[in-house]
Structure 1
Amino acid sequence: MGGTPLRTTALGGTGMEITRVGVGAWAIGGGGWDWGWGGQDDDDSIAAIHRALDLGVNWIDTAAQYGFGHSEEVVGRAIAGRPDRPWVFTKCGQPEGPGRTTTHSLRRDSIRRELEGSLTRLGVDAIDLYQIHFPIPDEDLEEGWATLAEVRDEGLVRHIGLSNVDVSQIRRAQGIAPVETLQPQYSLIARDVEDGVLPAAAADGIGVIVYSPMGSGMLSGGMTRERIAGLPDDDWRRGDARFREPRLSEHLALVDRLATVAARHDVTPGAVAVAWTLRNPAVDGAITGFRRPAQVDPIVAAAGLDLTDEDLATIAGTR
């Protein structure tokens, strides 16, 4: 890799030194399922992953749910034979149901079936970080977390974490086995975790990787009313409140402010949005999705972007 090495940071107490941005593989799961992003070319996905690895990105976050195995298969193809194989993080707890819809299970036998499938599709001997995707059903959280601790002790996964949980659920899990990492949604338009989850993670030394730092593309700088209107029918964002009025106008105004900051640093609005999440001292890394190689460099730039007080004021609309 040429140029300046990407900044890294310790992911909690896992011992992994991760780049400040990682590859998010949700969209590369393709279309035709209930949380898809529309059709996706697998060769584009692999080329984008390779470009990120060439730039020094050292981790990929995926899930068995993304295309019900398809994202993991693509990731497995992308990392096969790479001398710089990244750490691979994936998730469990949302197996496929009828009609390619998402169901929920944290039962031991279900998680073990999911894990076996993930290991096969990814082509690895052990998952570097295995996470409960959602704590649903809540009453089975303890069984699910005990299962993750069990498969870690067996060497099938190296580290375990939780995604989309609140502080009380973190505490319940900690009563069984230490929580090594958290993966909450966090962006300029999704800030709920600032009040509880992120402070709890910081206090307990739990590693944090945040997802959707660009608001699922809303803050990328490439989203317009016309593009939103033209999203394919199987893109879940068509029905998301962040992409509809009255919030849409507020979010597009925010993107304009991000563009002002981006121009100061010769970067994209999306890179500014990602860098904003990385300013929080509890956040170790941000998951960034790429669907084509050309999208990679502009977003990876966020790893080295330092926002000034003036930038923050501009983003907040106070200057």
Structure 2
Amino acid sequence: MTSARRRLGASDLEISPLGLGTWAIGGPWLFGWGEQEDADSIAAIRRAVASGINWIDTAPAYGLGHAETVIARALAGLPAAERPYLFTKCSLLWDDTGAISHSLAAASLRRECEASLRRLGVEAIDLYQIHWPHHPDGDGTEGPIEEAWETLAALRAEGKVRWIGVSNFDAGQLDRISRIAPVTSLQPPYSMVRRKIEKEILPWCAAHGVGVLAYSPMAAGLLTGAMTRERVARLSADDWRKRTNPELREPRLSANLELVASLAGIGARHGRGPGEVAIAWTLANPAVTAAIVGARNATQVDGFAGALTFRLDAAELAEIDVALARRTARIAAAG
């Protein structure tokens, strides 16, 4: 399946509208999705590449290094011309117990880069991103982002990484680091149930030519149609969504399931699932360059690969606006 490529920011990376996310294939860790079979992960990666997805997003923290290793195994032997771009990150560390810490110190970031190069089996990382400006499970205290950005700029000058970006930064932080070196891309969470970035962050990126790689366009599986009330109840105890995702709890869960039913109705007209409709909605925002979609097996890739080319028309986008307004009203009415 072919799709029009999109230029990522001011880089020379021409990427597919969808990239494969590998958060879940890392397997169990503090923010993991539960147990995962490597054979399924490898099949998902290979199916994604065969489907026309030409970039993979990962991070050392996903499975405490495991996701990067699995990616290398999946791509081993693939001709250079067929290899996808590899995007990874830095700033989250772990100890022997699996506890997660955060560091933006120059020496730490350099060690992380070298470790990712080894695990991925490459000489240069296509896009290297600061994963978080602070600990994701902390009090929000910001680390030394200027020092970190200077380090990433140096790694690029040294040829260790080709382009540099950030994830989970706000507009003020983007403005500060952009004075040190250009920002290729931002990776923020963005879906129809998580739209905070529309107010300041997306306008800033559009004004400054920064590419946007939206993650969780299907709201961590919520908008796929597979997340029924029964499925939510069966989520494993080591799945982060069970512990911390308010969208899977009442009163939001009922409102969200009603929204998914509306998306399913729109998708049915085109032979598409609600997840593909959710992805198409995200990609309809002109400030969004591409979306990251995770998969745990090849079947899940097949379930969203159609979104590489599927687009919503103006009437369908307006229909979704009505469904979203109903969701907001239902949540508000429930108190």
TM over 0.5: yes
> 1:52 & 1:175 partners in 2: Cα distance?
36
Aligned to 2:69: 73
> 2:39 & 2:3 partners in 1: Cα distance?
25
Q: Which runs of 5+ in 2 are unaligned?
A: 135-140, 327-335
> 1:229 & 1:309 partners in 2: Cα distance?
36
- Matching of residue 29 in structure 1 with residue 26 in structure 2: yes
Question: Does the 8 Å CA contact 1:257/1:317 hold for their aligned counterparts?
Answer: no
What is the TM-score normalised by the length of structure 2?
Answer: 0.92
- Matching of residue 248 in structure 1 with residue 253 in structure 2: yes
Deviations 1:200-248 (A, max 9, x none): 1111111111100000000011001111111111100002111111211
Corresponding residue to 1:149 among 153, 161, 177: 153
* 1:295 shift after superposition: 1.1
Corresponding residue to 2:93 among 92, 95, 102: 95
Residues paired across the two proteins, number: 315
The one-letter amino acid of 2:76's match is A
Alignment of 1:117-136 (within 5 A): 117-136=115-134
Question: Does the 8 Å CA contact 1:133/1:164 hold for their aligned counterparts?
Answer: yes
Deviations 1:226-275 (A, max 9, x none): 11111111100002111111211111111011101110111111011011
> 1:284 & 1:317 partners in 2: Cα distance?
25
Deviates more, 1:229-238 or 1:95-104: 95-104
Aligned to 1:269: 274
The root-mean-square deviation of aligned C-alpha atoms, in Å, is 1.2
Question: Does the 8 Å CA contact 2:264/2:273 hold for their aligned counterparts?
Answer: yes
Tell me the secondary structure at the aligned position of residue 232 of structure 1: coil
Aligned to 2:313: 308
* 1:308 shift after superposition: 1.6
> 1:148 & 1:166 partners in 2: Cα distance?
18
What is the TM-score normalised by the length of structure 1?
Answer: 0.96
Corresponding residue to 2:284 among 279, 296, 307: 279
Question: Does the 8 Å CA contact 1:62/1:72 hold for their aligned counterparts?
Answer: yes
Deviates more, 1:90-99 or 1:159-168: 90-99
Tell me the secondary structure at the aligned position of residue 317 of structure 1: helix
Tell me the secondary structure at the aligned position of residue 23 of structure 1: strand
Deviations 1:49-80 (A, max 9, x none): 10111111100000011011001001111112
> 2:39 & 2:261 partners in 1: Cα distance?
33
* 1:98 shift after superposition: 5.5
Aligned to 2:170: 166
Question: Does the 8 Å CA contact 2:103/2:143 hold for their aligned counterparts?
Answer: no
Q: Percentage identity across aligned positions?
A: 52
Corresponding residue to 1:196 among 197, 200, 205: 200
> 2:239 & 2:168 partners in 1: Cα distance?
21
Aligned to 1:234: 238
The one-letter amino acid of 1:133's match is H
